[in-house]
Each structure stands twice: as C-alpha cells, then as structure tokens.
Structure 1
Amino acid sequence: MSDAEGKILKIYDKSKPEDEDLHDTSYYLHWAWAIVAVLVGVVFWLCLALVNAENQRYALMTNKCADPLFKGEVDRRCLLTVRSRDHWWEHLWYGASHVKPEAPDARRR
C-alpha cells in the first residue's frame, strides 16, 4: 500500500460504522411491550368477569332463574347458562356505565 492510499484510508477511517454497538441490544422495549400485553390481558379478563356478573345480576333482577319447585328460591344451574340480554356488549355497556347502585324504589316515588 502506498503513502497516498494510506492517507486516504486514514481520512475515511472515521466514516465506517462502529461494529461494537451493532450487537448491543436494549431490552427496555421488550419489557414495555410485555407489560402492555399483560395489561391488555387483565383488561380483557375484567371485561369477561363484568359481562358474566352483569348477566347474572340482570337475570336475578328480572327473575329469569326462579326455581320452579321452591318458590322464592334461585336455580343456581340456570345462573350459569342464562342469557338475560341478547348480546354480551349490552352487559358490558350497562356494567361500565352504571357504576353506582340505583336507589331502591327511586322510580316509584
């Protein structure tokens, strides 16, 4: 290699990429996306629980699971399979929008 080539290589030596930092990865984004995935899973699970609880609450309120043999009692098997409203999103909407309990007999006064 001649002196001229050596000088040119010395000038362009700083312009080549640094190979040391190419394999160094940060796992902060992996942890952040894992936390987001867990939180989405928890929100989904809570929505399912709210839909199930509201379905049973509305079935009890409308007396859809009354025990046919014992008057005034509740058929517990019916509560597991009852569909008190047409769609699941109706339960979710009602449960999410009505967070305070209604006063008893407030509509009748």
Structure 2
Amino acid sequence: MQKQMSEEKEKGLMSMYRETRPRAFVGEKSTTNHLAWSSLVLLLALAFWLMVALSAAENQRYALQIRACQDRVFPTELDMSCLKQVKSRDHWWQHVGHALVHLGR
C-alpha cells in the first residue's frame, strides 16, 4: 500500500516536472540543415577564391598587354619580378569586371 502511494506521488511529481520542461532542448533536435549551410559556405569560399585568381590573372594579362613589365636591359624579354607584383589597374574589381565582360579575349 505504501509502495503504491509513493509511486503515485512520484508520478504526480514527474508530471509536474514534465509540464515545465521545454518541448525540445537546444542540442536535442536541430532544425538547421547543416548540409545546405555547409554547401553554401563552400560555394562562397570557392567563388571568392575564383575571383581572387581571376583578378590576378587579368592583372598580369593586362600588364603584358600594355607592356608594363618590359625588361629595361633586354627590350624583348619580360621582367618576371615586376610581373609578380605589378598593379596594372587601380582596384581588383576593375580586373574582375573587365575579365567578366570581355570573356575569351
């Protein structure tokens, strides 16, 4: 009889706690689609990397076109150290914009 009473008290106590408990804890169930967000972050990183590479390639291409890195001693040769650090346009976005508009040239 006493065991049955203590079980009823325990059930009443547990139901009281169950009602105050949040429906889902933060770590219990995730509503975030981690695959989609991870894919988005990877695609944005890839787009950023491609933009940086495109800007560098267009910078060097334009420097070669305007002969900005002509060797002073041998006019038919290129100064490779100049080509690595040349800034043929003022901003990186000018390189990217020109490269995107003039595809295949």
Whether TM-score is above 0.5 comes out as yes
Q: Any gaps of 5 or more consecutive residues in structure 2?
A: 1-18
Q: Structure 1 segments of 4 or more deviating over 2 A?
A: 21-28
In the aligned structure 2, how far is the partner of 1:57 from the partner of 1:68? Answer: 19
Query: CA RMSD of the aligned region, Å?
Result: 2.1
Length-normalised TM-score, structure 1: 0.69
In the aligned structure 2, how far is the partner of 1:72 from the partner of 1:86? Answer: 26
The question of 1:71 aligning with 2:79 is answered: no
Partner of residue 83, structure 1: 87
Partner of residue 39, structure 2: 35
Mapping of 1:3-42 within 5 angstroms?
Answer: 22-23=24-25, 24-26=28-30, 29-42=33-46
Quote how far apart the aligned CAs of 1:41 are.
0.3
In the aligned structure 2, how far is the partner of 1:71 from the partner of 1:34? Answer: 51
Match of 1:99 among 94, 100, 103: 103
Partner of residue 44, structure 1: 48
Match of 1:53 among 48, 54, 57: 57
In the aligned structure 1, how far is the partner of 2:42 from the partner of 2:29? Answer: 23
Length-normalised TM-score, structure 2: 0.71
Partner of residue 11, structure 1: none
Q: Any gaps of 5 or more consecutive residues in structure 1?
A: 1-15, 102-109
Quote how far apart the aligned CAs of 1:42 are.
0.3
CA-to-partner distance for each residue in 1:22-80, whole Å, 9 max, x for gaps?
Answer: 25424761111011001000000000000000000000000000011112111100011
- Say which structure is richer in helix: 2
